[in-house]
Amino acid sequence: MTTPPPVLAIRRAEKRFGAVHALKSVSLEAHRGQVLALLGDNGAGKSTLVKCISGVHALDEGEILLDGEAVAIHSPAAARRFGIETVYQDLALFDTLTPAQNFYCGREIAFPSWLPQGLRLLKGRAMDRQAAAVLDRLKVKLPRFDAPVALMSGGQRQAIAVARATVFARKVVILDEPTAALGVRESRKVLDLVAQLRAEGNAVILITHNMEHVIELADRAVVLRQGRKVGELKPTRANQQELVSMIVGAEA
């Protein structure tokens, strides 16, 4: 039986910004139904790599493969068309809009299809129903579904941003520090949501500095340091110190 290719593969990625060599021949793979932790200190190259995957930057050298096929991702819109969704730390939510309006902002469900986009009528109830179904499936509980997200807690806002990504992510969901600035209870809800994404067969790339979360959730961890991949292993309590040593460049 042939093993399917990884949903996402990065091969020998190189990226420079002037004299700064941000990525140096980095390769990694993400598989469906797995959480891949991307670890490294500040300046290690994590954000640059994610921005290349999500279309913010173009690689100088190397390639990106989706389900074994090489693709060119020249913009965030192109990444979304390929089924890659990224949730950054700022969440990119519109505070005055409801969860459903945030879900479909820029990708509204409208009719009739033969009219230009700006002349179509919005299917507000359909968008509400579909957004509510996604939140219910992911076990996200909100006090009010019709309230603007500005009135919701940090954990609820994070959950809305993650759930929104899953609506359109057919390949990969990238989460950049999803529990940053959250309390213990709200972090727990977000971690449960990440576990649910994995259970549903999504490929999840998780960027975090929290080793407890890495050990709990990640199936594999890739460590970057000074633009290079310096290690990859399955994170456990037993090798936690080895992971930390790779991150900081110390002897294990």
Query: 245: helix, coil or strand?
Result: helix
Q: Compute, in degrees rounded to 10, the torsion defined by CA atoms 158, 78, 32, 38.
A: -60
Q: Yes or no: say if 52 and 15 are a contact pair by the CB < 8 Å rule.
A: yes
Give the count of alpha carbons within 13 A of 182, CB side only. Answer: 24
If one compares 121 and 130, the residue with the highest pLDDT of the two is: 130
Mean pLDDT across the chain, nearest whole number?
89
Asked whether residue 1 carries a pLDDT value surpassing 70, the answer given is no
Give the pLDDT band (50/70/90) at residue 72.
very high
In the chain, % of residues over pLDDT 70: 97
Give the pLDDT band (50/70/90) at residue 251.
low
Judged by average pLDDT, the poorest of 72-86, 150-164, 212-226 is 150-164
Cα radius of gyration (the chain): 19
Give the pLDDT band (50/70/90) at residue 252.
very low
Question: Residue-wise over 144-164: b if at least 16 C-beta within 10 A, else e?
Answer: eeeebbeebbbbbbbbbbbbb
Do the bridges between strand 228-233 and strand 220-225 make them parallel or antiparallel, or are there none, so unpaired?
A: antiparallel
Superfamily of domain 8-94+154-248: P-loop containing nucleotide triphosphate hydrolases (3.40.50.300)
Asked whether residue 105 carries a pLDDT value surpassing 80, the answer given is yes
Please tell me the predicted confidence (pLDDT) of residue 161. Answer: 87
Place of tokens 């407890």: 212
Among 224, 223, 169, smallest CA distance to 198 is for 169
Please tell me the predicted confidence (pLDDT) of residue 45. Answer: 94
Q: Alpha helix locations (H) across 151-220?
A: 154-168, 184-199, 211-217
pLDDT in tens, 212-248: 999 999 999 999 999 999 999 999 999 999 999 999 9
